Amino acid sequence: CSTSFVLRSHFCCTFTPGMSAVCVLRTRCFLRQVFPGLSAAMNRSYSLDVTAPLLRTQGYVDGRWVSAASVFPVLDPATGQEIARVADCGPAEAKQAVDAAYKAFHSWKQYSAKERSVLLRKWFDLLTLHKEDLAKLITFECGKPMRESLGEMAYSASFLEWFSEEARRVYGDIVPSPAKDRKILLLKQPVGVASIITPWNFPSAMITRKVGAALAAGCTVVVKPAEDTPLSALALAELAEQAGIPAGVFNVVPCSREKTPSVGEVLCTDPLVAKISFTGSTATGKVLLKLAADTVKKASMELGGHAPFIVFDSADVDMAVGGAMASKFRNSGQTCVCSNRFLVQSGIYDRFMEKLGRAMDAELRLGHGSEPETTQGPLINTRAAEKVAHQISDAVSRGAKLLKGGKRLDGSFMEPTLLGDVTTEMLCTKEETFGPLLPVIRFNSEDEALAIANASNVGLAGYFYSQDVSQIWRVAEALEVGLVGVNEGLLSTPEATFGGVKQSGLGREGSKYGIDEYLEIKYMCFGGLKP
């Protein structure tokens, strides 16, 4: 079977002198149903209608909206239509942003913890107030279904709320001294300017998770958003300004794919930058670490994942199927903690596969993210779809059974796919997919499952389902990952740590520990005291 998407778009964009825009994108999308699971015969007009203050197209440096010598297009991945043209900042603008952040740091770090807390809380309130418009930006620039975009905005805002509270809980220590004439104090102080480099799959939340902690600690930041999704970052800058965040504290330098290496080099090598925080691929993270090494910068890296999802014979199968659906198909499989390798024990393999196939048929609907029934939007671009299609082809050629889906559709749409009889020799079990492909490996023993799960050079998230309490403790401790979901497919929350082991990165984000990534500990010895 095959699917045909016929897409007709009408685009109108009016620019104001301030280079913000009121942009209305009307897209007519007709989908003809020719395979099970795709909603039939949609004929509807979609529109992105965001007011001028929130749809910004310039960079944001030192409290000013700045143009660049050129612009680059931002596309709706569902239609391929241009939705905006954004300033293509280069090394010069990046350097200006670093200088502005360094200048602002000397005053921002003098703000009291309560003053920083109040400003972050105002920023949180504004994100909550404008969540609908901000969610529309996410849907149109990264393709995420609207219900998920609204979920991301709640998640994004929650980090500003959390770190507005943590700002007032940065405690030092008074340590008992071995000598009577001195006191030992350990002080926590902000590291300085932080370069924040973020991905496209959570274009708002990945910024606030880093920036919330940085600003709470007293650091200033320069944000380089992904070239596919700069609009969300610029909207955050607009709301930061409205919240009263001082000029230079929060800067955004959007740029095209072509200028990303030169901008990234400035942000990782400039001596005025004290810290870099990056979320993205392991390969890119290694490049940034090498750039940062010459000036010995503090670094946080949230890199690639290859999450195992293990279902043991004792598991509640219905619960495991629900967890698999949530963990695999959220954002069409484009999250770093998406389950990538599914391992199901022999005793329940057939029952699990049958119920999972029925759930896929019942719950998954392809379409534009603005359509209320859509659960699966497009992949971010055609390269992403090509990668998934290649993994499917490789697996089938090596003996995997294609049980659901498997088709590459028009544009960057990819049919949700279920593969059975998968082996560890197949490409989909060796590299991260970042798409709606669910490959299932049959296993016999707990030791076998753990050996397969841990046979990876990355370790971000891992999931397993079991009702055996002893087994739960054994497996949770044995999995070589930074996050473990036990009978749960969705893990992320600002109260808990987020980060991996092995080549999945360095450091932790979120939780009470996230702010420590932006702090230095200074030892102060106060001597000459009279007993």
CA 361 to chain CA centroid, Å, is 27
For every residue of 124-149, DSSP letters joined together read: HHHHHHTHHHHHHHHHHHH---HHHH
Alpha helices (runs of H) in 219-374, residue ranges in sequence order? 230-243, 260-269, 282-293, 317-329, 349-363
Distance from C-alpha of 59 to C-alpha of 223, rounded to nearest angstrom: 10
Q: 352 with 420: CB under 8 angstroms? A: no
> Residue 41: its pLDDT value, please?
30
Shared domain check, 352 and 312: yes
Query: Pairing mode, if any, of strands 273-279 and 82-87?
Result: unpaired
The number of distinct structural domains making up the chain is 2
**Which one from 336, 338, 371, 432 is the annotated catalytic residue?**
336
CA 525 to chain CA centroid, Å, is 42
Q: Is residue 338 part of a domain?
A: yes
Shared domain check, 215 and 169: yes
What CATH number has the domain bearing residue 134?
3.40.605.10
Strand partners, 275: 194, 298
For 125, the token pair is 């309130």
In this predicted structure, the answer to whether residue 316 has a pLDDT above a threshold of 70 is yes
Distance from C-alpha of 269 to C-alpha of 125, rounded to nearest angstrom: 35
Question: For residue 69, what are the domain limits?
Answer: 59-303+509-520
Q: Is residue 498 part of a domain?
A: no
> Residue 43: its pLDDT value, please?
41
Shared domain check, 356 and 272: no
> Residue 49: its pLDDT value, please?
84
Predicted confidence (pLDDT) per residue in 233-266, tens digit: 999 999 999 999 999 999 999 999 999 999 999 9
> Residue 52: its pLDDT value, please?
81
Distance from C-alpha of 434 to C-alpha of 396, rounded to nearest angstrom: 18
CB atoms within 10 A of CB 481: 25
Distance from C-alpha of 56 to C-alpha of 78, rounded to nearest angstrom: 21
Shared domain check, 84 and 222: yes
Q: Is residue 350 part of a domain?
A: yes
Distance from C-alpha of 331 to C-alpha of 338, rounded to nearest angstrom: 9
Shared domain check, 448 and 389: yes
Q: Angle at CA 170, nearest 5°, toward 168 and 175?
A: 135
Shared domain check, 285 and 214: yes
Of all residues in the chain, what percent carry a pLDDT higher than 70? 91
Q: Is residue 372 part of a domain?
A: yes
Long-range contacts of 32-36 (CB under 8 A, 24+ apart): 32/3, 32/4, 32/6, 33/3, 34/1, 34/2, 34/3, 34/4, 35/1, 35/2, 35/3, 35/407, 35/415, 36/361
* Secondary structure string (H, E, C) spanning 50-98: ECCCCCECCEEECCEEECCCCEEEEECCCCCCEEEEEECCCHHHHHHHH
What is the mean pLDDT of the segment spanning 493-509? 97
> Residue 45: its pLDDT value, please?
52
In this predicted structure, the answer to whether residue 82 has a pLDDT above a threshold of 70 is yes
The three-class DSSP label of residue 516 is helix
Long-range contacts of 52-55 (CB under 8 A, 24+ apart): 52/16, 52/18, 52/20, 52/21, 52/22, 53/20, 53/238, 53/242, 54/130, 54/133, 54/134, 54/137, 54/235, 54/238, 54/239, 55/20, 55/21, 55/22, 55/23, 55/84, 55/137, 55/231, 55/235
Predicted confidence (pLDDT) per residue in 42-54, tens digit: 345 567 788 889 9
Shared domain check, 67 and 209: yes
93 tagged catalytic: no
336 tagged catalytic: yes
**Which one from 302, 432, 446, 517 is the annotated catalytic residue?**
302
Shared domain check, 296 and 317: no
Q: Is residue 18 part of a domain?
A: no
Shared domain check, 198 and 331: no
Q: Is residue 15 part of a domain?
A: no
In this predicted structure, the answer to whether residue 14 has a pLDDT above a threshold of 60 is no
> pLDDT higher for 42 or 104?
104
pLDDT averaged over every residue in the chain: 92
Q: Is residue 48 part of a domain?
A: no
Predicted confidence (pLDDT) per residue in 27-37, tens digit: 333 333 333 33
What CATH number has the domain bearing residue 466?
3.40.309.10
Q: Is residue 195 part of a domain?
A: yes
Shared domain check, 258 and 337: no
Shared domain check, 299 and 311: no
In this predicted structure, the answer to whether residue 26 has a pLDDT above a threshold of 70 is no
Shared domain check, 316 and 290: no
